[in-house]
Amino acid sequence: MEAGGAGEVDHLAGERATAQFDVDHMKVAWAGSRHAVDVADRMARLVASDPVFRKDNRTMLPRKELFKDTLRKAAHAWKRIVELRLTEEEANLLRLYVDQPGYVDLHWGMFVPAIKGQGTEEQQKKWLPLAYKFQIIGCYAQTELGHGSNVQGLETTATFDPKTDEFVMHSPTLTSSKWWPGGLGKASTHAVVYARLITEGKDYGIHGFIVQLRSLEDHSPLPGVTLGDIGGKFGSGAYNSMDNGVLRFDHVRIPRDQMLMRLSQVTKEGKYVHSNVPKQLLYGTMVFVRQTIVADASKALSRATCIAVRYSAMRKQFGPQTGGPETQVLNYKTQQSRLFPLLASAYAFRFVGEWLKWLYTDVTHKLEAKDFSTLQEAHACTAGLKAVTTSATADGIEECRKLCGGHGYLNSSGLPELFATYVPACTYEGDNVVLLLQVARILMKTVSQLASGKQPVGTMAYMGNVQYLMQCKCGVNTAEDWLSPAAIREVFEARALRMAVNCAQNINRAPSQEEGLYELSPDLLEVAVAHIQLIIVTKFIEKVEQDIPGEGVKEQLRNLCNVYALYLVHKHLGDFLSTGCMTARQGALANQQLGKLYAQLRPNAVALVDAFNYTDHYLGSVLGRYDGNVYPALYDEAWKDPLNDSPVPDGYREHLRPLLKQQLKLSRL
């Protein structure tokens, strides 16, 4: 836990003393409210103090033991949730701090939302209470061996049989085997299965069905159902706690009322009826989950930066030529220029995640009132932000590992496992490239409609300012001018719009729209990234413009916001220059200002990661310890490795001894 207990020494106390802001209030700004800080704190401590939730040995467990440990933790967490009568908010946080991927993530994260979003009221009344009490365990079975990104290409069939009023679920080919769903392999009793609906001889495309997979008596697969785990995954510990699974159906029958019928129905006679709603609502669960993944990006990146900042503050290498104490590696400008943009990104993703949650809630209310006008905006924002934040977070965690030097490569640093667990977020819930291409297509459509005078709305409203943004010139003359939110916003808007318009013009020159989209897809990706970065920067600026209590808190957030924006200017300078949004000199001034901002951030760095309020248990890193007492912890940790159980290793007699004896004989010749 945190420092301050009897006998504990805070090795980072000096760092904490230089903070120029009220850390307690920053915790509130980060968490969203005082209430959110208090609940999170209580749940984190509850988990950290419970021996069942220990995870320091996780990377050393063989897969079967790791999976059993996951089952044990999930069951224990549920027991605590029931015993303590935790609220939904508390229960979610408790699960977060248990920090071990498992079937419960998919049960609560996808199975329940799929039924809520696509089930009729009657279906919700039947299935949700069972799911809420864990009388059934569910997963989300969409992806197949042959198709994941292309949802319309799925092959599993659900053929309606009016004679028995049932659907027949079938996997006609090997490639139609469901492949990847988390929780499917060993834990789930039920799944929401996506399959092609066939009735009256006609294929109506992909629909969702609730299917029981395992017996509720003895957990064995039901007749006609083949089930298993798909095998070990990247990294030790990490994602191997999850039973990602394979599923095949051999003509398995389910009652008609297990088709999720909110959006479309099949009557007893086999007639297909589609409600008067956009068919994309079928993708609603994915939109919901993408939104939660953006919020999770800030959690993962803040963990990694917390570890790297604290360790960099205690780690010393080299010293001044004149002698004297060695330098904290955090004082090296190179360390700051690699680490501080990641710290700023963690805050940026936190606030854009908060905004995205608001947008999702707003869109949901509109959909309930049969207003579908914001569906495209919700799709573009969730898909694009999911792609940009997860890619940056995965890269950022790996950078933090390198920032911790050799010790970052040890499992006990927590960073290898964090990376291995996090990196599939770039793939699941939509491959990031596929999602960015979705955003780019919407941007191209918006550009093509500008000529007709159609005003873009929401996050694309800036595109309506086309006359100005296509020719404006950045007014920055000094490094300080880059501190103006208006100047930053304008160059990001101009860059995004000009890239989109250039790309649209190039597509129009192609023999066909389809060919143009295909040939220019690498450029389209960059167009989408520029647009999404604009959203993140804008939402950060808007956050800083709000009333934020606490001494110095607003100033620090403004600093972080400027770091995030100017770092992007520096990183993507090619875009800004080639679109003529700014000059090379202005680019150099941005970089100069960035250096100054890093210097201002330096004395606050440790306090800024303290504001995440993570326990040592949740961080799971000897390098990121709150007290900074890293070396004894690293030393102790090494001795816990099973390889150190005996001074002479297993295998010595068979493989080392004969070798050494042979060398001895040879040397005596």
Ligand X SMILES: CC(C)(COP(=O)(O)OP(=O)(O)OC[C@H]1O[C@@H](n2cnc3c(N)ncnc32)[C@H](O)[C@@H]1OP(=O)(O)O)[C@@H](O)C(=O)NCCC(=O)NCCSC(=O)CCCCCCCCCCCCCCC(=O)O
Which residues are documented as binding site?
A: 143, 182
428: helix, coil or strand? coil
254: helix, coil or strand? strand
Cβ count within 10 A of residue 107: 23
Out of 142, 176, 412, 533, point to the residue binding ligand FAD (CB under 6 A).
142
245 binds ligand FAD (CB under 6 A): no
Q: Return the structure tokens found at 505.
A: 């013009």
CA distance linking residue 101 with residue 69, whole number of Å:
11
Alpha carbon distances (Å) from 591 to 51, 173, 475, 570 = 48, 56, 16, 6
CA dihedral 514, 516, 520, 524 (to 10 degrees): -60
Nearer to ligand FAD, 518 or 635 (CB): 518
181 binds ligand FAD (CB under 6 A): yes
429 is known as an active-site residue: yes
Residues 237 and 66: beta-carbon distance below 8 Å: yes
CA distance linking residue 206 with residue 416, whole number of Å:
38
Half-sphere exposure of 532 (CA within 13 A, CB side): 33
Phi and psi (nearest 5°) for 250? -115, 90
Out of 40, 74, 93, 106, point to the residue binding ligand X (CB under 6 A).
106
CA distance linking residue 99 with residue 39, whole number of Å:
17
Q: Return the structure tokens found at 191.
A: 């799944």
Q: How many residues at the interface with ligand FAD, by CB under 6 A? A: 22
149 binds ligand FAD (CB under 6 A): yes
182 binds ligand X (CB under 6 A): yes
Alpha carbon distances (Å) from 270 to 36, 118, 164, 464, 478 = 50, 20, 11, 48, 71
430 binds ligand X (CB under 6 A): yes
Site for ligand X in 277-306 (CB under 6 A): 280, 283, 286-287, 289, 292-293
Nearer to ligand FAD, 148 or 628 (CB): 148
590 binds ligand FAD (CB under 6 A): no
264 binds ligand X (CB under 6 A): no
CA distance linking residue 362 with residue 365, whole number of Å:
5
The item of ligand FAD, ligand X, none sharing an interface with residue 283, based on CB under 5 to 8 Å by kind, is ligand X
437 binds ligand FAD (CB under 6 A): yes
427 binds ligand FAD (CB under 6 A): yes
- In the complex, minimum distance from the CB of residue 512 to ligand X, in angstroms, rounded to a whole number: 16
- In the complex, minimum distance from the CB of residue 574 to ligand X, in angstroms, rounded to a whole number: 28
DSSP bridge pairs for 272: 266
Nearer to ligand X, 375 or 560 (CB): 375
Out of 61, 433, 443, 557, point to the residue binding ligand FAD (CB under 6 A).
433
According to DSSP, the β-strands at 166-170 and 178-179 are unpaired
Residues 179 and 155: beta-carbon distance below 8 Å: no
Q: How many residues at the interface with ligand X, by CB under 6 A? A: 31
Task: Tell me how far apart the terminal alpha carbons of the chain are, to the nearest angstrom.
Answer: 61
- Identify which of 392, 390, 419, 425 has the alpha carbon closest to the alpha carbon of residue 404: 419
The item of ligand X, ligand FAD, none sharing an interface with residue 375, based on CB under 5 to 8 Å by kind, is ligand X
Alpha helices in 257-332 (DSSP H): 284-314
Nearer to ligand FAD, 277 or 434 (CB): 434
Q: Which residue is nearest to ligand X (CB)?
A: 182
Residues 482 and 593: beta-carbon distance below 8 Å: yes
140 binds ligand FAD (CB under 6 A): yes
Site stretch for ligand FAD (CB under 6 A), options 76-84, 213-221, 428-436, 549-557: 428-436
Site stretch for ligand FAD (CB under 6 A), options 195-203, 303-311, 386-394, 425-433: 425-433
516 binds ligand FAD (CB under 6 A): no
List the catalytic residue out of 155, 429, 490, 493.
429
Site stretch for ligand FAD (CB under 6 A), options 144-152, 380-388, 572-580, 630-638: 144-152
- In the complex, minimum distance from the CB of residue 373 to ligand X, in angstroms, rounded to a whole number: 12
Identify the burial level of 333 via C-beta atoms within 10 angstroms of its C-beta, where 0-12 means exposed, 13-18 middle and 19 or more buried. exposed
Alpha carbon distances (Å) from 530 to 396, 440, 465, 495, 663 = 19, 10, 17, 7, 63
**Packing angle, helices 521-545 and 432-450, rounded to 10:** 80
DSSP bridge pairs for 228: 246
State the DSSP H helix or E strand holding residue 262, giving kind and residue range, or none if neither: none
Site for ligand X in 395-414 (CB under 6 A): none
Nearer to ligand X, 359 or 403 (CB): 359
Phi and psi (nearest 5°) for 85? 50, 50
Nearer to ligand FAD, 90 or 155 (CB): 155
Q: Which residues participate in the annotated binding site for FAD? A: 143, 182
State the DSSP H helix or E strand holding residue 648, giving kind and residue range, or none if neither: none
- In the complex, minimum distance from the CB of residue 442 to ligand X, in angstroms, rounded to a whole number: 6
The item of ligand FAD, ligand X, none sharing an interface with residue 433, based on CB under 5 to 8 Å by kind, is ligand FAD
101 binds ligand X (CB under 6 A): yes
Q: Return the structure tokens found at 366.
A: 């509109």
CA distance linking residue 416 with residue 421, whole number of Å:
9
- In the complex, minimum distance from the CB of residue 647 to ligand FAD, in angstroms, rounded to a whole number: 39
424 binds ligand FAD (CB under 6 A): yes
Out of 48, 428, 548, 616, point to the residue binding ligand FAD (CB under 6 A).
428
Kindly report the length of the chain: 669
- In the complex, minimum distance from the CB of residue 282 to ligand FAD, in angstroms, rounded to a whole number: 13
Out of 379, 543, 554, 617, point to the residue binding ligand X (CB under 6 A).
379
428 binds ligand X (CB under 6 A): yes
Alpha carbon distances (Å) from 528 to 66, 363, 370, 429, 534 = 40, 22, 29, 18, 10
- In the complex, minimum distance from the CB of residue 50 to ligand X, in angstroms, rounded to a whole number: 21
Q: Mask: binding to ligand FAD, 90-129, rule CB under 6 A, as x and -?
A: ----------------x-----------------------
Residues that bind ligand X (CB under 6 A): 101, 105-106, 109-110, 140, 142-143, 149-152, 181-182, 242, 244, 280, 283, 286-287, 289, 292-293, 375, 379, 428-430, 434, 438, 442
Q: Which residues of this protein are in contact with ligand FAD, per CB under 6 A?
A: 106, 140-143, 147-149, 180-182, 239, 244, 424, 427-431, 433-434, 437
What residues act catalytically?
A: 429
